[in-house]
């Protein structure tokens, strides 16, 4: 019983980590996106 509760807590923590970091790094997409587009353009040309 105790072990299963801990597993739920671990999964919740993992979900928290993923959500927080996804939201955090997505802030920078505006700065990264033009570079990605430029690289893609370079690749296709």
Partner 1 sequence: MALLISIGWLAAVFLLCLPAIAFGARLMDWWGLRAENFLEQTLFAAGLSFAILQVIVHGLIAAGWLRRAVLLVLLAVMAVVAGRGWLLIGRLAITGRAFLARARESRIAFVSTLAIAFLLILDALMAMAPLTGSDALHYHFTVPLLWLHNGFAPLFDITLSFAVGQSHMLILMGLGLGSDHIALGLILIGGVLSAASLYVLARKWMPLGWSLVATLTFLLTPIVFWQMTVAGAPDIWMVFYTTVAVLAAGRGISEKEIRWVMLAGFFAGAAAGSKFPAWAIPAGLGLMILLETRSVWMTAATALAVLLGGIWPLLRNAWWTGDPFFPFLTRWLTPHNVNPSALAAVLADTRPLTKSSGLLSWFQYPVLMVLEGQKFGVGHYFGPLVLAFAPLLVLAWKPRPLFRTAAGVWAVMLIANTLSSEMGRFLLPVFVLALAIVFAGAEAASRMERPLLRWGAAASIVIYLLFGVASYAAYAKDFLPVSVGAEGRENFLERMSPNYEEVSFINDALQGKSGTTLIFIRHTYYMRGTYVQGDFQNSWQVNPDLLGTPDAMLAWIHKYGVEWVVKTDRYPRSLREPLDELENEGILQPVAAAQVQDIYGWRIQGGKLQVSVQILKVMPGKP
Q: What are the residues binding partner 1 (CB under 8 A)?
A: 6-7, 10-11, 13-14, 16-17, 20-21, 23-25, 27
Q: Is the Cβ of residue 6 or residue 38 nearer to partner 1 in the bound state?
A: 6
Instruction: Look up residue 36 and give its two tokens.
Output: 């990605």
15-to-9, 22, 23 alpha-carbon distances in Å: 10, 10, 12
- Closest approach of partner 1 to the CB of residue 20, in Å: 5
Q: Is the Cβ of residue 3 or residue 45 nearer to partner 1 in the bound state?
A: 3
Cα separation of the two ends of the chain: 59
């Amino acid at each position: 019983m105790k072990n299963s509760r801990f597993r739920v807590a671990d999964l919740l923590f993992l979900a928290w980590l993923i959500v927080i970091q996804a939201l955090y790094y997505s802030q920078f997409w505006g700065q990264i996106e033009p570079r990605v587009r430029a690289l893609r353009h370079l690749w296709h040309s």
